[in-house]
Amino acid sequence: MKKLSLILSLLVILSYSSFADEKLINPSRGRNGFVFSFIGGGSMPHQSFTSDNFAGNAFSYLQPGFLMSFGNGFGISALFNIGYNISVDPQINDNISNIDGESSINIHSADLGITVAFNIKDFMLGLSGGIKIPIDGSAYVTTLGGDNDSFDSSTTQSKIRDKIEMTQYLKLSADYLFFVDTKTAITLGLNIGYDFEMKEDRMFYASKKGFSFGGQVGLRFGPRL
């Protein structure tokens, strides 16, 4: 957590210092302004690419912030992330004799973080970091058992909120902005993230930790470089 805070602090300080130096050299240059985006998307943990079980994460968040322009189509954005995540991790119950079935773990969490983005004309490269705070979590187990003529199935649900720790994350994203007018754009991009638990000794399931790959689409309001 300390390393993540240090990295984000250095990025923000560097962005602010560069902006201040540029304004002292040429105070008339740049098109600055507030920006606001609504983003939605999803991702898959790297385990899903080497396993028969599909795990996934869906997210949506608001991203208010400020764009600092240095002219020549280049700018830096400092943004806040306020969002909501839903993670699903299915598993197979193949370790019980004469019982077939599957289980899944669903986790709902709030996302709070910071993004520093480098804007080059209509292209944006962002580095994000923050925490995911668990709100709710459930484990669903469905079992099938019986002989060749009949099968009985049952599903049980268990609350696991108390077994989930907060996670911290880093994410690299690349987006292209399709401007509708000078202050409104549709964004389309890809992301690579890494989630890791703050207390690994209480890690509940494997796909909570590691790399993930995904995409996002959004609507952005703010000045165009």
pLDDT of residue 205: 45
Chain segment 75-110, per-residue pLDDT in tens: 999 999 999 998 887 664 444 434 445 667 788 899
Instruction: Name the average pLDDT for the chain.
Output: 76
Amino acid of residue 218: G
Residue 161 has pLDDT above 70, yes or no: no
Per-residue pLDDT averaged across 145-174, rounded?
69
- For residue 139, the domain's CATH number is 2.40.160
* Domain range enclosing 153: 2-221
Range with lowest mean pLDDT among 37-46, 77-86, 109-118:
37-46
Structural domains counted in the chain: 1
pLDDT confidence band for 113 (50 / 70 / 90): very high
Per-residue pLDDT averaged across 155-165, rounded?
65
